């Protein structure tokens, strides 16, 4: 009964947090629609419509991430594992983010690395890597660099995402995996669910996630290690 009560309390907090996260973009969309209705020139209408589209995109992203979190719950149905080529997966994910990187002026690419295969859920691993690349692009300034690499090291297959952004202080590296946590003063938008999802997917695959400083103390390197 104690475990059941704890699970129900955890679910209650998650639902409350989710409702709060959805309320913000939906309220913004409502206000933006009012501005659209009051617009008197084509320029004002175009600007208001752009804001509405942006608000809907943010709400859609939050809903998608909430659904992903729900699928990671222990009692949720899970897809069977199969062989996943991580280098091929990396190429697919980089293709999905190529335009976003160009728009921001960030050099995004797959560097070196080895061919590597793991047993896993290909869709879940695509989400894991997509969240890491999205975070890296979000925190890397224009003219920066985001690299993805696959390699073998010390009996593990490593999937790495390296960026030249601001990095994460050591004291915050555990907290960033909490649901809905946002780094104070980061200035970046997001639901605060990206790294929580990464951690959940990694744990389901028996993998570990490490956050380290980038080369030369610049930026952040995220390593997901799969046992071989």
Q: Which of 66-70, 73-77, 183-187 has the highest mean pLDDT?
A: 66-70
Q: State the alpha helices, DSSP H only, in the chain.
A: 2-38, 42-71, 86-104, 122-139, 194-204
Average pLDDT over residues 193-200: 86
CB atoms within 10 A of CB 155: 8
Is residue 186 scored above 60 in pLDDT?
A: no
- Return the pLDDT at 140: 93
Q: Whole-angstrom Cα distance, residue 197 to residue 217?
A: 26
- Return the pLDDT at 161: 95
Question: pLDDT tens for residues 134-163?
Answer: 989 988 999 999 999 998 888 899 999 999
Share of the chain above pLDDT 90, in %: 37
Average pLDDT over residues 12-23: 66
Residues ≥6 apart with Cβ < 8 Å to 179: 14, 17, 69, 192, 193, 196
Cβ-contact 97, 134 below 8 angstroms: yes
Identify the band that residue 164 occupies on the pLDDT scale cut at 50, 70 and 90: very high
User: Considering the entire predicted model, what is its pTM?
Assistant: 0.74
Average pLDDT over residues 178-196: 68
């Amino acid at each position: 009964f104690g475990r059941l009560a704890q699970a129900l309390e955890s679910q209650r907090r998650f639902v409350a947090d989710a409702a709060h996260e959805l309320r913000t973009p939906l309220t913004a969309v409502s206000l933006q629609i009012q501005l659209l209705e009051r617009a008197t020139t084509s320029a004002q209408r175009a600007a208001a419509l752009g804001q509405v589209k942006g608000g809907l995109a943010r709400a859609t992203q939050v809903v998608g991430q909430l659904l992903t979190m729900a699928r990671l719950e222990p009692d949720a149905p899970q897809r069977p594992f199969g062989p996943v080529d991580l280098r091929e997966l990396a190429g697919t994910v980089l293709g999905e983010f190529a335009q976003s990187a160009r728009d921001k002026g960030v050099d995004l690419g797959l560097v070196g690395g080895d061919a590597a295969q793991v047993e896993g859920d290909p869709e879940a691993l695509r989400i894991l890597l997509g969240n890491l690349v999205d975070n890296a692009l979000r925190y890397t300034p224009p003219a920066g660099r985001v690299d993805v690499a696959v390699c073998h090291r010390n009996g593990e297959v490593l999937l790495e995402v390296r960026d030249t952004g601001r990095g994460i202080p050591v004291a915050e590296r555990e907290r960033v995996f909490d649901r809905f946590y946002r780094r104070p003063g980061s200035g970046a938008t997001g639901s605060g669910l990206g790294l929580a999802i990464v951690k959940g997917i990694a744990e389901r695959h028996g993998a570990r996630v490490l956050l380290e400083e980038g080369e030369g103390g610049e930026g952040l390197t995220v390593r997901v290690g799969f046992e071989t």
